[in-house]
Structure 1
Amino acid sequence: MKVLATNIGERKVIQWKNKSVETGIYKYPTNGSIFLGEEDVEDDAVVDRKHHGGSEQAVYGYSAQHYVYFKDLHPNLDWEFGMFGENLTFDELDEENITVGSTYQLGQCLLEVTKPRQPCFKLGIRFETQTIVKQFWNSTKSGIYFKVLKTGKVETGDILIPENIKKDTQTIAEVYNTKK
């Protein structure tokens, strides 16, 4: 599982249903490494601290393989990594096999798998249609939140190396399916 892109975003105000909404979902690939902190990714906007960031959701990873599925459903968008609001885009990240509590080495960091992402209306804003939220829920392509056990830098090309794989816990897909 190799990092294809490191993505960060700035705080952005958008109009939705005649209201101003602040979001950090507009993430774009960087040209260098990013620093994974205990609560979030350095220089990455986390607007809604109730639902994003914090130790259990410090870093969000998503699989480039999932992009193919969603590109077929939304072919007219300008596709680039970071579309799902992920900090790390991996060549593959399989929610059906990765288990909660497992730990991985990545770059200078040690990460622990915590939970799947639950989509909200801001994903629909990013995709310019709220239909993506239901499509996202109806798949197991949730992406994975990580806790940062050891902070440090991560860059494109770094490999997610298994350290301690939990065999007695649910997979991310199993947890995601119980949240629906």
Structure 2
Amino acid sequence: MTAPLLPPVLPLVLAGPVAPLGPDGPPSGIVKNPVPAPWRITATGLVGDAQADLRYHGGPEKALHQYPQDHYAAWATEIGDHPLLSAPGAFGENLATTGWTERDVCVGDVARFGSALLQVSQGRQPCFKLDRRFGRSGMALAVQRTGRTGWYWRVLEDGVAEPGDRIELRARPRPDWSLARLIHLLYVDTRNRSELQAASALPELAESWRLLLRRRLRTGAVEDWSKRVTGRDGGPDA
């Protein structure tokens, strides 16, 4: 029998409504809490979950956000014993797991969760709402700098998951393109033309990211991140 590409992971499933993020804060759906099964998953995400601004949140390419609990210890070392790190959901994730990180998961990976079929579409672009969530200036930039962003799934087939169902990797069409490699290109090795060309041609990568990479190739310029990570003048967040 062929060994699995990755060991299956058992997720904690979380969702949340839109609510003000702190006193007089912007509306946000970043606060997620465990929700009871069965978990119904559609092309736009987990039924019962919500996003504040559908221009930049949710939708088919960002249907579910998965975040590794493996990173929580590193965050605790770096920012201290923050109360949000005592339980899953600190980063607004829908799927909290241990065992997979950005180094293990690749663009286009296809996985089964219950009867739903999922595909990795992109990494996360952290935004200023993480600063508000943690009460720490620079938190969004730290998530970006470390590459501990988590990732998004698109839904290829709607389905239902039950307690005990694991996320099981079924196919890996782009084994050379780990999310860690993609994130390094996006935020560190930002003008590597050969990498930009290769990544922008990945059909499994979210269209918005392919367009971003092609724009870099065309202009030779890297987009301004300051609006996204500070919130000044608005700006998209993921």
TM-score by length of 2: 0.69
Q: Equivalent residue for 2:81?
A: 75
Q: Equivalent residue for 2:71?
A: 66
Q: Is the 8 A contact 2:108 2:174 kept in 1?
A: no
Identify, as 1 or 2, the structure richer in strand: 1
Gaps of 5+ in 1: none
RMSD: 1.8
Gaps of 5+ in 2: 1-7, 188-238
The list of structure 1 runs, each at least 4 consecutive aligned residues, that deviate by more than 4 angstroms after superposition, is none
Q: Is the 8 A contact 1:60 1:143 kept in 2?
A: yes
Which of the pair has more CA radius of gyration?
Answer: 2
Partner of 1:112, secondary structure, is: strand
Following TM superposition, by how much is the alpha carbon of 1:119 offset from its aligned partner in structure 2, in angstroms? 0.5
Q: Equivalent residue for 1:55?
A: 60
CA offsets 1:84-119 (integer angstroms, 9 cap, x no match): 101010122221121111201111111001110110
Q: Equivalent residue for 1:100?
A: 107
Change (3 A) 1:71 1:155: farther
- Tell me: higher relative CO, structure 1 or 2? Use CA pairs within 8 A at least 6 residues apart: 1
CA offsets 1:47-68 (integer angstroms, 9 cap, x no match): 1212211111101111111111
Q: Equivalent residue for 1:133?
A: 140
Partner of 1:71, secondary structure, is: helix
Structure 2: distance between partners of 1:142 and 1:104: 19
Identify, as 1 or 2, the structure richer in helix: 2
Partner of 1:3, secondary structure, is: coil
Structure 1: distance between partners of 2:64 and 2:90: 15
Change (3 A) 1:76 1:30: same
Structure 1: distance between partners of 2:179 and 2:122: 6
Match of 2:165 among 128, 148, 158: 158
Task: Using the TM superposition, name which of 91-100 and 101-110 deviates more.
Answer: 91-100
Structure 2: distance between partners of 1:110 and 1:129: 36
